[in-house]
């Protein structure tokens, strides 16, 4: 029997992780870079966009009426230099699988975002950051080269030194400069599969920022969980968790997972289908936050944790986005530059005052960014999940956008699903340069996504 032609896509209704705004596209599953090239060259008027594990919250990996290429089949390892910690992998490999592969050799992904279910291609397209951003920058900082397939199917090698403009436009370029099929990464050397974690509670936002400013540089990893429902003197009360990879001599034999280093997150729970809207309501979250805050140690030093439990606590629940019910959720992630702490405080105040059911809010300090549309700038980044069903959410978030833009900050495109397009230029001053480079790479406008249509980026956009 003949295998189905590569050209035959499967009509599929796609959404991002937030499960909002579904659109229909023809989903293709190329098995290698050659098929990617073929599918791009024959994309047609509605264009083409790559997709990984669908962890962008909004519409970045959707292309209504056009082609969507799932890169999950392009996931082979082409080479690993065990001495230097350099690995060349297919763009469809997930960061979790990468960790599993390289940890036994004493290496670790240089940057881990909040979930391990992110592909290398997606990590480059969104230039993702991790808990070590304040010291080691975002994902693309550690990319030595990448293979990019252009809209006509032509393949080029892109490096930060050889093709700096294309590299900087592709890092954080949301897949609109071409399809990354392979990348070579510099890995991080580790001695054990444990993280040594220091935990402390902060009584409010000022206390937290003070602790982070003073102590973050002493830690490779730093992240704070904030209770966005606490008000008054407890506004922004939080739990600060900082750590580093444990050295061999810090882990006693009985604590180590054995001779080999292992990364073995397990999916223990699965969210049930058909959860009604409104489960994660304000009172429920208030109770959760209270319990979480009280349960956390006031001060704890040097606790050894498994890598996955420190980096990806939510990954043990499969499909947790379903807990938000049929209306779905959105994640609001902003960054404001250092010096704009007042704007950050106002955001937290407004969230608390509006009793917004903000879940799992996280605060982190950033270093600089890599690409023209990379999200990170030196400053404070605040992230929270919000149920999309609340009627007053749209004007509330529009107000926060204005505040963030006015303070010289921006929103994260990989999370965005509702930004007012007019604000994009203000938030991303390098947008003009990005447009030039992008237009040079894709003069016919074949690279298209719903995010692009909505915000005016890439092919088919009128802005």
Partner 1 sequence: MKDALGSVESVLVLGGGSEIALATVRALVAGRTRTVVLAARRPEELEVTASELRAAGATTVETVRFDAADYAEAHARLVDDLFDRHGDIDLVLAAAGVLGDQSRDEHDGAAARAVVSTNFLGLVSAIVPCAERMRAQGHGTLCVLSTVAGERPRRSNFVYGSSKAGLDAFAQGLGDSLVGSGVNVVVVRPGFVHTRMTEGLDPAPLSTTPEKVAEATLEGIARGAHTVWAPPALRYVMSVLRHVPRPIFRKLPL
The single residue listed with the structure tokens 């959105």 is 330
Question: Is 445 an interacting residue with respect to partner 1 (CB under 8 A)?
Answer: no
The H or E element containing residue 307 is helix 307-311
Question: Is 248 an interacting residue with respect to partner 1 (CB under 8 A)?
Answer: no
Cα-based angle 142, 147, 153 (whole degrees, multiple of 5): 155
182 vs 416 by CB, closer to partner 1: 416
The H or E element containing residue 409 is none
24 vs 77 by CB, closer to partner 1: 24
Question: Is 447 an interacting residue with respect to partner 1 (CB under 8 A)?
Answer: no
Question: Is 222 an interacting residue with respect to partner 1 (CB under 8 A)?
Answer: no
Contact in structure between 231 and 358 (CB atoms under 8 Å): no
- Token pair, residue 73, equals 């089949």
- From residue 94, alpha-carbon distances to 40, 71, 309, 384 in Å are 22, 10, 17, 23
The whole-angstrom separation of Cα 245 and Cα 192 is 7
Q: Which residues pair with 202 in a beta bridge?
A: 238
User: Which segment (1-9, 186-194, 306-314, 447-455) binds partner 1 by CB under 8 A?
Assistant: 447-455
Shortest spacing between CB 446 and partner 1, in angstroms: 15
Residue 171: phi and psi, rounded to 5, are -70, 110
Residue window 33-72: x/- pattern of binding to partner 1, with contact defined by CB under 8 A = -------------x-----------xx---xxxx------
Question: Is 322 an interacting residue with respect to partner 1 (CB under 8 A)?
Answer: no
- From residue 112, alpha-carbon distances to 72, 116, 242, 348 in Å are 19, 7, 15, 26
Question: Is 394 an interacting residue with respect to partner 1 (CB under 8 A)?
Answer: yes
25 vs 143 by CB, closer to partner 1: 25
Question: Is 442 an interacting residue with respect to partner 1 (CB under 8 A)?
Answer: no
Q: Which residues pair with 329 in a beta bridge?
A: 387
Shortest spacing between CB 450 and partner 1, in angstroms: 5
Question: Is 453 an interacting residue with respect to partner 1 (CB under 8 A)?
Answer: yes
Question: Which residues, 402 to 421, sit near partner 1 by CB under 8 A?
Answer: 417-418, 420-421
Contact in structure between 278 and 326 (CB atoms under 8 Å): no
User: Which segment (238-246, 327-335, 376-384, 438-446) binds partner 1 by CB under 8 A?
Assistant: 327-335
245 vs 415 by CB, closer to partner 1: 415
Shortest spacing between CB 13 and partner 1, in angstroms: 6
Question: Is 141 an interacting residue with respect to partner 1 (CB under 8 A)?
Answer: no
One residue of 123, 209, 330, 340 binding partner 1 per CB under 8 A: 330
269 vs 279 by CB, closer to partner 1: 279
Shortest spacing between CB 103 and partner 1, in angstroms: 36
Question: Is 27 an interacting residue with respect to partner 1 (CB under 8 A)?
Answer: no
The single residue listed with the structure tokens 């956390």 is 296
Shortest spacing between CB 404 and partner 1, in angstroms: 17
One residue of 454, 457, 458, 459 binding partner 1 per CB under 8 A: 454
Shortest spacing between CB 424 and partner 1, in angstroms: 13
Contact in structure between 106 and 261 (CB atoms under 8 Å): yes
Question: Is 21 an interacting residue with respect to partner 1 (CB under 8 A)?
Answer: yes
193 vs 416 by CB, closer to partner 1: 416
Question: Which residues, 168 to 197, sit near partner 1 by CB under 8 A?
Answer: none
Identify the CA nearest to 452 among candidates 174, 179, 44: 174
Contact in structure between 305 and 311 (CB atoms under 8 Å): no
- From residue 27, alpha-carbon distances to 67, 131, 367 in Å are 6, 33, 37
Identify the CA nearest to 382 among candidates 397, 394, 393: 397
Helices (DSSP H) in 354-443: which residue ranges?
Answer: 393-406, 424-427, 431-441
Question: Is 426 an interacting residue with respect to partner 1 (CB under 8 A)?
Answer: no
| Residue 77 exposure: Cα atoms within 13 Å on the Cβ side | 15
The whole-angstrom separation of Cα 18 and Cα 388 is 8
The residues that touch partner 1, with contacts defined as CB under 8 A, are 13, 18, 20-25, 46, 58-59, 63-66, 327-328, 330, 388-389, 391, 393-394, 397, 417-418, 420-421, 450, 453-454, 460, 462
């Amino acid at each position: 029997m003949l295998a189905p032609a590569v050209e035959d896509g499967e009509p599929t209704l796609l959404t991002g992780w937030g499960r909002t705004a579904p659109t229909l596209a023809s989903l293709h599953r190329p098995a290698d870079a050659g098929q990617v090239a073929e599918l791009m060259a024959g994309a047609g008027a509605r264009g083409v966009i790559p997709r990984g594990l669908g962890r962008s919250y909004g519409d970045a990996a959707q292309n209504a009426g056009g082609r969507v290429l799932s890169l999950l089949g392009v996931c082979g390892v082409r080479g690993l230099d065990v001495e230097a910690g350099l690995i060349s992998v297919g763009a469809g490999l997930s960061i979790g699988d990468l960790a599993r592969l390289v940890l036994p050799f004493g290496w670790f992904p240089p940057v881990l975002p909040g979930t391990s279910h992110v592909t290398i291609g997606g990590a480059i397209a969104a230039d993702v950051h991790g808990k070590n951003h304040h010291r080691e920058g975002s994902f693309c900082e550690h990319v030595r080269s990448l293979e990019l397939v252009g809209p006509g199917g032509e393949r080029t090698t892109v490096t930060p030194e050889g093709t700096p403009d294309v590299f900087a436009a592709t890092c954080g370029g949301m897949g609109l400069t071409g399809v990354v099929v392979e990348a070579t990464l510099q890995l991080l050397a580790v001695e054990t599969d444990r993280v040594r974690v220091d935990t402390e509670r902060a009584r409010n936002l000022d206390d937290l920022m003070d602790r982070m400013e003073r102590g973050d540089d002493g830690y490779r990893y730093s992240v704070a969980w904030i209770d966005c429902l606490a008000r008054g003197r407890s506004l922004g009360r939080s739990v600060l968790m900082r750590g580093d990879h444990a050295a061999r001599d810090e882990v006693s034999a009985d604590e180590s997972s054995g001779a080999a280093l292992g990364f073995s997150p397990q999916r223990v729970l699965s969210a049930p289908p058909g959860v009604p809207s409104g489960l994660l309501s304000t009172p429920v979250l208030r109770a959760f936050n209270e319990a979480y805050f009280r349960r956390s140690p006031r001060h704890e030093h040097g606790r050894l944790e498994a890598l996955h439990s420190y980096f990806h606590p939510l990954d043990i629940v499969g499909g947790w986005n379903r807990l938000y019910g049929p209306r779905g959720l959105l994640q609001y992630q902003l960054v404001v530059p250092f010096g704009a702490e007042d704007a950050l405080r106002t955001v937290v105040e407004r969230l608390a005052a509006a009793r917004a059911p903000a879940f799992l809010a996280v605060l982190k300090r950033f270093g600089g960014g890599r690409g023209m549309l990379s999200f990170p700038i030196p400053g404070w980044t605040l992230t929270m999940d919000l149920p999309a069903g609340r009627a007053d959410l749209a004007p509330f978030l529009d107000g926060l956008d204005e505040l963030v833009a006015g303070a010289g900050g921006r929103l994260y495109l990989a999370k965005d699903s509702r930004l007012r397009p007019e604000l994009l230029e203000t938030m991303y001053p390098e947008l003009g340069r990005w447009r030039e480079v992008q237009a040079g790479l894709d003069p016919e406008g074949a690279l298209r996504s719903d995010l692009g249509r909505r915000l005016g980026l890439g092919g088919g956009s009128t802005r």
